[in-house]
Structure 1
Amino acid sequence: METVWAKIKYCPFWPARIVSTPLELGKVPKNKICVLFFGTKTFGFVHQDFVCDYVQNRTKYATKGRGSDFKNAVIRMDEFILDPVKFAANGSVKPVNHTIQVKRERAPIVKTENDINNVPFETSFVQCRSKTKNKSELPYNSKNVSDLKAQIEAAKNEKEKLVEELVATKDESQTMYFNFQSSQKMIATLQSERNELKEKCMEQNKVIAQLTKEKNQAQNKIKQLMANTHVKLCEEVESSVDLGRNKEYEVEAILSHSGRKGQRRFLIRWKNYSSNHDSWENESNLNCDEILNKYLHAKGLKK
């Protein structure tokens, strides 16, 4: 386990590499390990309990740190894991400082209103003289500083873009939420109207069923009345026909005749009836000898 996550008190887990302790730093404290922090190029003595494998815990700690230094440290560590030889050739594995920087833990200092310079964590530096004093070997030359500024500027631009996208997404989400609420209200209104129409239809169906029942009852009564009336009419007609057959009408006068003797027919005027009821009758149907004899005598006919 050479590449690790190392944690100093009041700081997040930081990408680091376990290295041999430089002679300038002296003896390593008990139960601690000397590590080189990526990105800051500083050494630190970290307790064994606060060191864990980098690859296995990358997903866990890579998103918890903040700031450009932390992102740069993760990038440098990934580059080192992919190609250690190329990374060492770039001079990024071991710092070549005029002074060696060491991070140490200190107890937190409570911040007061009168002293704004107090912070909960401080980084002390143990300065040791190095054999070389060449300025070109300093870790942060003008090129590195310009690159760092460019990275910071790019990070700011990316942050602004992310903020704009977040605001646009928020507005879109609010619009979608309002549309969803209006849709829910419309659905509730339509459902209530549907229920009202359903109730009205049920009531109308009940009324239609009742009217249909009454109609059927009326039709049955009409059929029954018609049947009874038909029977009565038939009986009355039959009785009247029977009465008409047996009834005798009285002759008022004989108006004319036709045919020869034995086949004569007479035009009869019936008593109490108008001329519209005059009819021709055979001589055998007449039962009025006195009127018939008078008519034959008057006409000079023989009986």
Structure 2
Amino acid sequence: MEIESGNDLVWARMKYCPFWPARVVKTPPTMGRTPRNKKCVFFFGTKQFGFVDSDKIFGYSEHRAKYVSKGKGVGFVDAVHKIDEYILDPVKYKSNACVLIDQVVIKTERDVENTLGIKCEANARSDSRSMVNPKPSSVANTASWAQERQSLIDKIISLTSENQKSTFELKQTQDKLAVLNSAKQELQTKLNQSNEAHMKKVDKLNSELSETNAVLAKLRSDNRDKILELTREKDLAQARLKQVQNGIARQQIAVESSAKDNDDGFCEVEKLLADKMVQKRIYLVRWKRYGSSDDSWVEEANLNCPSILKKYKQLKRK
């Protein structure tokens, strides 16, 4: 069992001696340094100090029933009585501890009385007996008082044990809480680092997205200009095509076949279809009562249709 120096009531055992009621205290200066693996204790009843091995020290409340039943002798009974009274009123019997006043080491209650000039437990035993254990007026009252006193001591011991258990559980809980807080802090640090990395990635992606949007906007603008240019070219081509179609139509419609057959056997010109320059200007003639397969090229000098020729030239100028 782990014992905190100067704090716990214990059962302590010196070599060749039985387990005795004691209290772990701070080592008095006159006793020198505490040996390794030992603790300084104050023995109730004998009012002596001693160094006891740590493995020979056990909690008083947990092992009271075990060692009280094994103890013998008036001195042992008195020591148990002393520690029980200490449990009932620790303040009154605080002189059981080692006190350092004016560089004088006080080990026992007698030293306390001689040095401090106060009446301590050893010399005031009759007074304390009268206060703690008054003489009963009858055997029945004595038995009742002893039972009540024992019940009170048992309750105090039980509460002390529960307090030690609660303190131990509290310490375990605090240790677990410290571990959890440490883990939480570590996770928070990792989370912050992860968030920073993610934020950097997000910023980089946003930058790349902005650049892509800029390129896309430029491409859209360039394509829009190209589309407008192509549309204008298309409109111009359509206008030109329409003009050509209208010219061809006018040429076909303008050529009239007004020539008449004469006695010399000439064919009558129905209309002029086209013309071209081959050393001399020649015209493509459609003859009346003949189909397109009979169209032929004729020099201007050989045409005998001045009105048709005049109209053809006028339509061509337009």
TM-score bracket for the superposition, by shorter chain length: 0.3 to 0.5
TM-score when scaled to structure 1? 0.39
TM-score when scaled to structure 2? 0.38
